[in-house]
Structure 1
Amino acid sequence: MEENNPHYLSEEHLIFKSEVSSWQEAIKIVAQPLLAEGIIEKKYIDAMIQNVMELGDYMVLVPKVAMPHARPEAGALRTDFSILKLEHPVLFGKKHEVSLIICLATNDNKAHLALLKRISALIDEEVKVNALLGSASKKEFVTLAETFIREEEEEL
């Protein structure tokens, strides 16, 4: 994978955790790598939580996967993403059990399109989501993600 390229997942942006107490905690945890690197400001985390509270669970894209995000002006300084993988799912809304949380930050509405294509390559099939959730290490997760993205790009 290319270093410092937001279109690729790095182990530093991947968090494995057994469980969290709430979807709010999940959002705070998944955003930490981006906050630590100055990719987002703290207010971006608050905006993501507020979006879920106001707009509901629309951030649940496919079964088991949520992608919290907010508007660029809410504190996204660069385009990048991070992922939280949970052993035990957390409830988003009243009915969505989520084990894979992808935090998307973009400082430009157009800049994130290529990144979204790569993220969609990870979650566009249930078998891929299950494979990622079954990964035992960050290295295995990243290797699977690279494979799924490469396969998707070869099909285009």
Structure 2
Amino acid sequence: MLTDWINDANITLVNQVNNWQSAVELAVQSLIAQQAVESRYLQAIYAMHEQIGPYYVLGEGIAMPHARPEEGVIKTALSLVLVKEGVNFGSEDNDPVYIIFGLSAVDSNSHIEMIASLSQFFCDEEAVKNLKLAIDKQQVLDIIGQF
């Protein structure tokens, strides 16, 4: 379940951010606080974004910034940032983004269950809509607790 990974300590709710970099930084700061990644992980995401664009914008309004395990991953973890007013990542079809899941994975297999739960969530339009509208951490946990 997503609540195995997301809890009160790694959810951030903000009204707005200055830019996509700030949104990614909020997600990664939570991963750093969980001792899941080294601080260089953030720079790796920025560098990859500059090279190939917003590869981690997965669908309308949803992003999952991440970098390769060798870029500073310590353990598999997840964080969640909600940006009420949305933020543009440069993804023509999917901007603005409101839901940002920060992901760190030690390898390509260890997080399969987490990705499966996230996929179920992403496919549930009602849950995605409700998460965008959530106003506190308990609401967030109630919504993602279904997956």
TM-score for both structures, normalised by structure 2: 0.92
Amino acid at match of 1:93: G
Unpaired runs of 5+ residues, structure 1, are: 150-156
Match status 1:80 vs 2:77: yes
Match status 1:71 vs 2:54: no
State the alpha-carbon separation in 2 of the partners of residues 14 and 6 from structure 1: 11
Unpaired runs of 5+ residues, structure 2, are: none
User: Are the counterparts in 1 of residues 56 and 64 from structure 2 also a CA contact under 8 Å?
Assistant: yes
**Within-5 A mapping of 1:1-156:** 7-93=4-90, 95=92, 96-147=95-146, 149=147
Q: Which runs of 4+ in 1 moved over 6 A?
A: none
How many residues are treated as equivalent by the alignment? 145
TM-score for both structures, normalised by structure 1: 0.87
Amino acid at match of 1:72: P
Which fold has the larger relative contact order, with Cα–Cα distance below 8 Å and residues 6 or more apart in sequence?
A: 2
The Cα RMSD (Å) is: 1.7
How much does 1:62 deviate? 1.0
How much does 1:94 deviate? 5.3
SS of 1:33's partner is: helix
Structure 1 residues 94 and 122, CA, compared in 2 at 3 Å: closer, same or farther? closer
How much does 1:7 deviate? 4.2
State the alpha-carbon separation in 2 of the partners of residues 12 and 38 from structure 1: 13
